Amino acid sequence: MEATREIYWNIGHGVVIPMYILAFAAFGVLGWGFWKRLPIWQQGKPLDRFNRYDERVKRLISDVFSQEKIFRVKDGGIYHALFFWGFLILFAGTMLVMVQADFFTPLMHINILSGEFYKGFSLVLDLAGLLSLVMLIGLVIRRFIIRPEGLEIVRDDYIVLQLLLAILITGFFLEGARMAATEVRQNPDLAIFSPVGLLAAQLLLGMSQSALLVLHKILWWLHFALVLGFFCAIPYTKLRHILTTSANAFLAPLEPKGTIATINMEDESIEQFGAAAITDLTWKDIFDADACTSCKRCQDRCPAYATDKPLSPMKLIKQVGELAEGNPTGNLVETVSQDALWSCTTCRACQDICPANNEHVNKILEMRRNLTLMEGAFPGDEVRTAISNIEVNGNPFGLAYAARGEWADGLGVTAMESGEEVDILYFVGCYASFDKRNQQVAKNFISICNASGVKVGMLGKEEKCCGEPARKLGNEYLYQMVAAENIELIKGYNVKKIVTTCPHCFNTLARDYKDLGLDIPVEHYSTFINALITDDRLKLKPAEFDFTYHDSCYLGRYMDIIEQPRSILKAAGGRITEMDKSGYDSFCCSAGGGRILAEEKLGSKISEARVKMAQETGAPLLVSNCPFCLTMFEDGIKTGGAEGQLQVRDLAEIVAERIAA
């Protein structure tokens, strides 16, 4: 007997037309549900996220099917990803059965669901269903019994999980009823290829044939009704994320990470800067709320939330959605709260981990623009003073710009105004120019360049703050003003390459300045030094040391530079012990988003939390690659009581000490 089965066994082909009518009706309900949400999304400003179509489709396929971001959270992520793959296989199998029954058989008179292929098909679908069921039970236990801290439980959770459980269980017992009536005794060699269905059939073998036929019909219609209910429920429950999260993989920005929309400050027709209401955000910002599943991954990664500040990235997305749906004219900034907005360090940990590709940081920056440019608000008087200093003196400290390059006297650095040709322009940044601790880092970088035969040029007193703190605090006007001055200055010299020791300057010059016309290669000193070592231009004399390494947010998550600094430190003789949060999962120092200029008045200190993580590794040395991080960690070591237990040093200092004579 050939291995196969009658697809509409006990149901009859008479159900085909009503089945399709009901199915189309269910899809109509699904479509109508999303159609009603369209006006909600359209309240936002236009934004083109349908360009570069091929790239977007590739990323959609990659993100959805790989479940890469889901897997980054080892606990619930594994359950979700395996459930998704199992359910996807079941859906594909069901579609193949439909095509066989309603197209191949009546129109082409062929049966692909037969023989050895059918045996494998049955086994794969049974195992996929079992995988989905086990993972779904795991998700139920996690959500309702283990209940991770901060994970909200709402009515949707009960509806969705019960519906999915019912679909899987009725599916197995539907299969079991058919097998009990047609296979278990009649064709046991075939029955073993449906092991879960066989188990269900064993429970039903005591029933008579007529009772099995009745049960099978009941289960068939019940299972079909549950599946239709599943599709109908999608736009009205958390199940909508099946489509909206997938859509967000397509709609996610293709620009470099951290790209911010540049405002045309000369456009006199602009009456509103930044976002004060939902209508000031883009339609994609509103759509993000429908893609959010409240999985709290963003909240779990947020350094502000972890240190008891009023910011929750998850809550932010939900507040946007609630306003868009219920009160679109409401005050967006006051709904979120100024304290929450100013607490953000723009570390991007929330966006990096979000499986829905939601964009938290840009929403915050747009609201900050409204606060700064429209209301003149800042997180504190000290920030207002620093911003004023940048405007007047070109640095946040209010120090005379004429002294900006004095620290480099006698180091063999070429002043760009001399007109001499140089290999690199070292854009120093404010902290390395004026802060004595960070001046030591800059001097060590110059020593490394000198030892490698690299001729270094500097702008000296001509250099101004890159404008990054001002921009991240919302003052786009000041950012564009100082950026334009720096760009005009740099373009006036024969600059081949710019190197920075500050990831914030690096990100700003390499990406943001491009929008304003600077098109010169920009490199962070970590990749520059790594290349010098690799090319054998810089020779080191390794000396063993134990350390842990901090991935600064703007070098790691923003600029994707993770391994090169580690390679340098290993070449210098270092033995690394990684912190609990490292690489793309690194924990912020607290200084980003302009917070370097602000006092940390709410909650506990982020820098102290990070110092504690470093201490837990047992390493005596914490190595950083950023002047902001170095400053915050030295402060965190003092205020956190870690003096004498942990030392923080910059990457350049470690390398300079090991330059071979």
pLDDT of residue 31: 97
Six token digits for residue 225: 């009704």
Residue 446 reports pLDDT greater than 90:
yes
Q: What is the mean pLDDT of residues 103-120?
A: 90
Residues 6+ apart with CB under 8 A from 471: 260, 478, 479, 508, 512
Residue 2 reports pLDDT greater than 70:
yes
Q: Which one, of 191, 141, 195, lies nearest residue 172 by Cα? A: 195
Beta strand 456-458 pairing with 647-650? unpaired
- Looking at every residue in the chain, the average pLDDT score rounds to 95
3-class secondary structure, 498? strand
Whose structure tokens read 């405002």?
A: 263
Residues 6+ apart with CB under 8 A from 282: 44, 45, 46, 47
Helix, strand, coil distribution of the chain in percent, nearest 5: 60, 5, 35
By CB atoms closer than 10 A (0-12, 13-18, 19+), residue 301 is: buried
Return the DSSP state at 51: S
DSSP string, 625-638: S-HHHHHHHHHHHH
pLDDT in tens, 51-62: 999 999 999 999
DSSP element (H, E) containing 82: helix 74-99
Distance CA 145, CA 122 (A): 34
- Number of Cβ within 10 Å of residue 159's Cβ equals 16
DSSP string, 559-585: T---HHHHHHHHHTTEEE---SS-GGG
Q: How confident is the model at residue 526 (pLDDT cuts 50, 70, 90)?
A: very high
- Number of Cβ within 10 Å of residue 410's Cβ equals 6
Residue 661 reports pLDDT greater than 80:
no
Return the DSSP state at 509: I
pLDDT in tens, 301-353: 999 999 999 999 999 999 999 999 999 889 999 999 999 999 999 999 999 99
Sheet with 498-500: list strands edge to edge.
Answer: 414-415, 456-458, 424-427, 498-500, 522-524
Q: What is the mean pLDDT of residues 424-445?
A: 97
pLDDT of residue 1: 61
Q: How confident is the model at residue 73 (pLDDT cuts 50, 70, 90)?
A: confident
Distance CA 341, CA 376 (A): 15
Six token digits for residue 106: 């009546």
Sheet with 545-549: list strands edge to edge.
Answer: 574-576, 545-549, 621-624, 647-650
**Residues written for the chain:** 661
State in Å, rounded, how far the first CA of the chain is from the last one: 84
User: Are the CB atoms for 480 and 467 separated by under 8 Å?
Assistant: yes
pLDDT in tens, 385-434: 999 999 999 999 999 988 999 999 999 999 999 999 999 999 999 999 99
pLDDT in tens, 627-656: 999 999 999 999 999 999 999 999 999 999
Q: How confident is the model at residue 152 (pLDDT cuts 50, 70, 90)?
A: confident
Low-confidence winner among 36-40, 45-49, 79-83, 482-486 (lowest mean pLDDT): 79-83
Q: What is the mean pLDDT of residues 481-505?
A: 97
Residue 109 reports pLDDT greater than 90:
no
Distance CA 648, CA 171 (A): 59
Half-sphere exposure of 318 toward its Cβ, with a 13 Å CA cutoff? 13
pLDDT of residue 71: 83
Six token digits for residue 483: 């950026």
Distance CA 352, CA 584 (A): 8
pLDDT of residue 69: 85
User: Are the CB atoms for 526 and 510 separated by under 8 Å?
Assistant: no
| Phi, psi values for residue 45, rounded to 5° | -70, 155
pLDDT of residue 659: 94
Residue 425 pairs with which residues in a beta bridge?
457, 498
Low-confidence winner among 101-110, 201-210, 281-290, 642-651 (lowest mean pLDDT): 101-110
Return the DSSP state at 417: G
- Number of Cβ within 10 Å of residue 55's Cβ equals 11
User: Are the CB atoms for 581 and 549 separated by under 8 Å?
Assistant: no
pLDDT in tens, 231-267: 999 999 999 999 999 999 999 999 999 999 999 998 8
Residue 492: C-alpha distances to residues 416, 489, 521 (Å): 10, 5, 16
3-class secondary structure, 623? strand
